[in-house]
Chain A
Amino acid sequence: MRLAHPDGPRGPLHRDHRDADPGAAGRGALGKTNMDEFGMGTHSTHTPYGSVLGGSAVAVGLGHATVALGTDTGGSVRMPAAYTGTVGFKPSYGMLSRWGVVPYANSLDTVGLLAREVAPIQDIVHAVCMEHDPKDPTSLPATVRERCVSVRQYYLSSRRTQPPPPDLQSQGLRGLTFGLPIEYNIEELSPRIRDGWLQVADKIKEQGGRVVPVSLPSTKSALSAYYVIAPAEAASNLSKYDGIRYGKRASASAEDSSDALNGILYAKTRGEGFGPEVKRRILLGSYTLSAEAVDNYFKQAQRVRRLVRRDFDRVFRLSNPLLENEHDDDDDGSNKQQQQFDLSDMDESVPLESKLGPAQVDFLLCPTAPTTPPKLSDIAKQTPFDSYMNDVFTVPASLAGLPAISIPMALPKSEEDPVDFGGVQLIGQFWDDARLLAVAGHIRSKQQ
């Protein structure tokens, strides 16, 4: 298997690796690819050498690599996949070790996988999903992995605790429910993407799956919360690039022999070293953590993050295995039973299934990106806010630590836009990765 991975500033530094490293499982690394500086961007334009993982996605798309590794913090694997017609998978938080990954936002960072098809990604996940890495403190401990797998299907070791899973080949998607989050039908959503999304929903119904509208009321706040939390963690992480140890040193001018600016040490070096998008996020993150702003921004964003997770936990039929052992979760409590929906939060177009609320689902189905990939000339015209808006569908799963996969979908022909594909995203409950991949693989196979 040929493997591509970005080896710019976010590439793994340490090569004393273990079995849990997807790259070490008997596969050769193909080479280094292109990416945004510190992974900050959506379109792989922010680089001194041009997403995020745009280079790896292209390498996979062109068939140069079977699987590419990349980090997915808020969509950096799924988005490039959607833009290049490939498959991009973000595992449950804590499944794949982050040891060696230069962190962007540690609480959101995951090691994601890109490929042309779902199968090679499935192979890797099955190979490493039980591997705890003691070097990564957020890698789930073996005992917790065991517990998670024992309540999930389609894992090799689930057979001991779970009935054999339905054979998708023969039974199709019968018995599975897919939710269309109505809050994702946003103004910015391109009509062609919306059509493509609904076509996939029709295909799923043809396969026997049930498709229902669901409500995720915190969706609107999720993007804002993401753009508070991620830059805050990023600003903190990047403070080590302080001009003392790494890279360049600003050259001294004739009148000033040091690299200080206004009496602040190393200011010139730090100013020259970071690109505009990175600087923007450092400033944003430093502000939201500052004493005057932390309550209204950073702490508020953490509360929103809990609400986002609660939204997901309410709509999924499976409970979150991590919650059962959580004592300090103040606003959730037990999730073993279906939670009562607060109907005032919920869009009235969502039908109720029972007195507790609307139907619960196995997966959520939504677009990966609100538009087809923009042209470079259009990107130049975008404000940073426009480009943050692209992450609106990928960010919620990241905030909740859930597995999500983007697979290609066909789009209606258009005269203005030659791109005839987009990405459709499936999101599953925590540690439901194996079933998510199996179902995604099935949907993918029925598209071709």
Chain B
Amino acid sequence: MSESRARPSATNLSHRRSLHTQTTEEAPLSSPAPGHVPLRKQLKDEAKKAKAAGKKKKKKKNATNQVVPGWELTVGIEIHAQLNTAKKLFSEATTSFHDESNSHVAYFDLATPGSQPRFQKETLIPALRAALALNCDVQPVSRFDRKHYFHWDQPSGYQITQYYEPFARDGRILLQPRDGIAAEDGDGLAVRIQQVQMEQDTAKTMAQPGETHWVDFNRNGVPLIEIITRPDIHHPATAAALVRKVQILLNAVDACVSGMEAGGLRADVNVSVRRQSDDHPSDEPLGTRTEIKNLSSFKAVEDAIIAERDRQIAVLEAGGTIAGETRGWSIGATETRRLRGKEGEVDYRYMPDPDLLPVVVGDDLVAHLRGILGQLPDAEVDELTEVFGLTAKDALSLVALDGGARVEYFWRVVESLQAKLGSGSGNIANIAEHPTCFQLAANWILHELGRLTSNPHDASAQDLGFTPDGQCRRVPVDCLADIVVFLYRRRITAKVAKELLWVVYRGTVPAQYASVADAIETEKMWFHELSEEEYAELADQAVEGQEDIVSLFADFKQYPQGKLMFLVGRMMRLGYEERIDPKNAESTMRRLLEEKYVPALGGRQEES
């Protein structure tokens, strides 16, 4: 995160600019380019702010702060996402994120005089996939324009983008309650997308101690898409939900490299408010909007919108007017801050790039990409809940985790389970016949796998090593499916299953044992369950001398489940734990209490 792509904040602006010049704090930012705010500095600023705020009243919880009575909030969002491409947008330099600085730079990336852009048409593929996932109309002809502004991370003095004729228009994103929208948005809403355009990323600035800044041109010219929504959002939580949904969608169609947490996605929000009365719901024109730039987390999106909404309302209620300006936000802040006003706005002087030909996209390409797009997250979540009986929460987690890799892993495990449950020789099992087995698998993939990496003291254990195509380095698909099937078939106990998962995770399978089955066999971990008689015998032993407890089952207002479990616990301790299924032990104990032990008590009482 030290590679934060945060745009410059007012506090460090003068600091950055003093590299080559001295300017006052008030000087307008000459560029909207994403700059660099080191995370450490951000955290320090936040701590300072928190301290300054001191014992001020606590912030309201966001969930109860979605609406201000008498006012309507309107939000439009611009999202920038790095495309998953091998090459830069206009040069054959490869895209790289961790290689040595300035090692992937072509003449054109440095704006060397005499060099020319060469559109890398392969970059269109992920861009088109993104457009399709966002339900956009792909334009048969689009063009590139130059957007002029001055900044050291922009060596040509302009960014090539698609201003006049973007490659995709008129999309929509459906948001449902499960996506985390505000309760006020009810059953859901559709947010329209105005356009999606391709453009170049800028170079990366890396702050060094003192006043030195290094510039890494590896990132310069890396392809981005910018997604621009219509102002269809009226609640802060819904705005955050939209950004999250876009990230999930882009991941699902493999259009993007990384999400917000890794700096691969960032959002700018346009916020305005207008008065609203019950009589005239919204006949007033939209209020003057401000733009908050470079939000780098979902929470920042929601918090910044709430803060900006409240600031605008306070200004208007005090009789003031809202200036159309650009504002900034730092994590944990309570207020947005002014970056530059209208007078400081850069006139981008958009001009069609005279070196670049129009991009012509054939219907056949669009149809082909649509055909191989695969299932989108909403349909996938529907399938997970309807076919596999997962809760909406679990289904959403599964789809969102590891940039979509986790759910791919699930599908591979499902495939493997179907083969293992089938009657052999290529027959696969019907999911409907074994519903609990697949639920078990989902549960393990979500929760048990999560436990493996939850040790905060072992950094090397933090990564399960998922690949986008659904493989997992640490817990191979086949191993997990074996464990799940053995557990489902009660060939092993849950306890053994969990132990086996660690064995796989640590690499003992396959290093020491050829397979999960081999490990169970070698270590004699198969579950040889007690017979009905053996359970009964064990129960008899467990109640010996426990007449006081047993008597509680004779007459009760509420069934003494706790006491039942106490007796089951005694069975487990008395017998061979590895041969006992706690459920069966429980049902045996319950049955015998009813049929045998309690009646026996009665008999004794009568005798006495």
Residues of A that sit less than 8 Å from B by CB: 9, 12-14, 98-103, 105-107, 134-138, 232-233, 235-236, 238-240, 242, 244-246, 256-260, 263-266, 286, 289-291, 294, 298, 327-328
Which residues on the A side are within 8 Å of B141 (C-beta)? 327-328
Residues of B330-356 contacting chain A, CB below 8 A: 347-351, 354-356
Q: Does B113 contact A (CB under 8 A)?
A: yes
Which residues on the B side are within 8 Å of A100 (C-beta)? 114
Does B150 lie within 8 Å of A239, measured CB to CB? Answer: yes
Q: Does B65 contact A (CB under 8 A)?
A: no
Q: Which 8 A-B pairs have the closest CB atoms?
A: A239-B157, A260-B21, A289-B349, A107-B354, A106-B354, A258-B21, A13-B114, A240-B111
Does A266 lie within 8 Å of B20, measured CB to CB? Answer: yes
Partner of A258, one of B22, B116, B350: B22
Does B354 lie within 8 Å of A12, measured CB to CB? Answer: no
Does B116 lie within 8 Å of A136, measured CB to CB? Answer: yes
Residues of B105-124 contacting chain A, CB below 8 A: 107, 110-119
Residues of B134-192 contacting chain A, CB below 8 A: 141, 146, 148, 150, 152, 155-158
Can you give 12 A-B contacts (C-beta < 8 A)?
A13-B114, A13-B115, A101-B114, A137-B119, A235-B349, A236-B351, A240-B155, A245-B110, A246-B113, A260-B21, A266-B150, A327-B141
Does B357 lie within 8 Å of A137, measured CB to CB? Answer: yes
Which residues on the A side are within 8 Å of B152 (C-beta)? 244
Does A242 lie within 8 Å of B150, measured CB to CB? Answer: yes
The size of the chain B interface, using a CB distance under 8 A, is 38
In Å, the complex CA distance between A99 and B116 comes to 7
Which of B23-31, B223-231, B279-287 touches A?
B23-31
In Å, the complex CA distance between A13 and B110 comes to 14
Partner of B30, one of A106, A259, A264, A327: A264
Partner of B118, one of A9, A137, A236, A246: A137
In Å, the complex CA distance between A290 and B345 comes to 12
Does A263 lie within 8 Å of B27, measured CB to CB? Answer: yes
Q: Does B311 contact A (CB under 8 A)?
A: no
The smallest C-beta distance from B477 to any residue of chain A, in angstroms, reads: 44
In Å, the complex CA distance between A99 and B106 comes to 14
Q: Given contact pairs A14-B114, A258-B21, enumerate 12 new A-B contacts (beta carbons under 8 Å).
A: A14-B107, A100-B114, A134-B118, A137-B356, A138-B116, A138-B354, A236-B148, A239-B148, A240-B156, A244-B155, A286-B349, A327-B141
With A244-B152, A265-B20, A265-B21 as known contacts, state yes or no: A289 contacts B351, CB within 8 Å. yes
Does B157 lie within 8 Å of A242, measured CB to CB? Answer: yes
Does A298 lie within 8 Å of B118, measured CB to CB? Answer: no
Which residues on the B side are within 8 Å of A236 (C-beta)? 146, 148, 157-158, 349, 351
Which residues on the A side are within 8 Å of B111 (C-beta)? 240, 245
The smallest C-beta distance from B178 to any residue of chain A, in angstroms, reads: 43
The smallest C-beta distance from A242 to any residue of chain B, in angstroms, reads: 6
Which residues on the A side are within 8 Å of B107 (C-beta)? 14
Which residues on the B side are within 8 Å of A244 (C-beta)? 152, 155
With A98-B116, A240-B157 as known contacts, state yes or no: A291 contacts B347, CB within 8 Å. yes
Does A137 lie within 8 Å of B24, measured CB to CB? Answer: no
In Å, the complex CA distance between A263 and B26 comes to 10
With A239-B156, A240-B155 as known contacts, state yes or no: A12 contacts B351, CB within 8 Å. no
Q: Does B491 contact A (CB under 8 A)?
A: no
Q: Does B275 contact A (CB under 8 A)?
A: no
Does B114 lie within 8 Å of A298, measured CB to CB? Answer: no
Which residues on the B side are within 8 Å of A260 (C-beta)? 20-23
The smallest C-beta distance from A317 to any residue of chain B, in angstroms, reads: 28
B31 and chain A: residue at smallest CB distance: A265
B152 and chain A: residue at smallest CB distance: A244
In Å, the complex CA distance between A107 and B111 comes to 18
Does B20 lie within 8 Å of A258, measured CB to CB? Answer: yes
Q: Does B420 contact A (CB under 8 A)?
A: no
The smallest C-beta distance from A294 to any residue of chain B, in angstroms, reads: 7
Which residues on the A side are within 8 Å of B23 (C-beta)? 260, 263, 265
Partner of A265, one of B17, B118, B348, B355: B17
Does A14 lie within 8 Å of B115, measured CB to CB? Answer: yes
A9 and chain B: residue at smallest CB distance: B113
With A101-B114, A137-B119, A290-B347 as known contacts, state yes or no: A245 contacts B155, CB within 8 Å. yes
Which residues on the B side are within 8 Å of A239 (C-beta)? 148, 150, 156-158
B26 and chain A: residue at smallest CB distance: A263
In Å, the complex CA distance between A103 and B356 comes to 14
In Å, the complex CA distance between A286 and B350 comes to 10
Does B116 lie within 8 Å of A135, measured CB to CB? Answer: yes
Which residues on the B side are within 8 Å of A135 (C-beta)? 116, 118
B357 and chain A: residue at smallest CB distance: A137
Interface string of B1-13 (1 = CB under 8 A from A): 0000000000000
B18 and chain A: residue at smallest CB distance: A258
Which residues on the B side are within 8 Å of A294 (C-beta)? 349-350
The smallest C-beta distance from B429 to any residue of chain A, in angstroms, reads: 54
Which residues on the A side are within 8 Å of B155 (C-beta)? 240, 242, 244-245
In Å, the complex CA distance between A14 and B106 comes to 13
A239 and chain B: residue at smallest CB distance: B157
Which residues on the A side are within 8 Å of B17 (C-beta)? 265
In Å, the complex CA distance between A100 and B115 comes to 6
Does A13 lie within 8 Å of B20, measured CB to CB? Answer: no
In Å, the complex CA distance between A102 and B107 comes to 13
Residue of A101, A238, A264 contacting most chain B CB atoms (<10 Å): A264
With A12-B114, A263-B24, A290-B349 as known contacts, state yes or no: A137 contacts B148, CB within 8 Å. no
The smallest C-beta distance from A113 to any residue of chain B, in angstroms, reads: 19
Does B354 lie within 8 Å of A233, measured CB to CB? Answer: yes
Which residues on the B side are within 8 Å of A328 (C-beta)? 141, 358
A233 and chain B: residue at smallest CB distance: B354
Does B114 lie within 8 Å of A265, measured CB to CB? Answer: no
Partner of B20, one of A12, A103, A259: A259
Partner of A13, one of B113, B118, B150, B354: B113
A100 and chain B: residue at smallest CB distance: B114
In Å, the complex CA distance between A239 and B156 comes to 6
The smallest C-beta distance from B31 to any residue of chain A, in angstroms, reads: 9
In Å, the complex CA distance between A327 and B141 comes to 10
In Å, the complex CA distance between A263 and B23 comes to 5
Does A265 lie within 8 Å of B30, measured CB to CB? Answer: yes
The smallest C-beta distance from B510 to any residue of chain A, in angstroms, reads: 49
Does B351 lie within 8 Å of A265, measured CB to CB? Answer: no
B345 and chain A: residue at smallest CB distance: A291
Which residues on the A side are within 8 Å of B110 (C-beta)? 245
Residue of B27, B110, B119, B349 contacting most chain A CB atoms (<10 Å): B349
In Å, the complex CA distance between A238 and B23 comes to 25
In Å, the complex CA distance between A235 and B21 comes to 24
In Å, the complex CA distance between A12 and B349 comes to 28
Residue of A98, A263, A286, A290 contacting most chain B CB atoms (<10 Å): A263
Does A99 lie within 8 Å of B150, measured CB to CB? Answer: no
Which residues on the A side are within 8 Å of B354 (C-beta)? 105-107, 138, 233
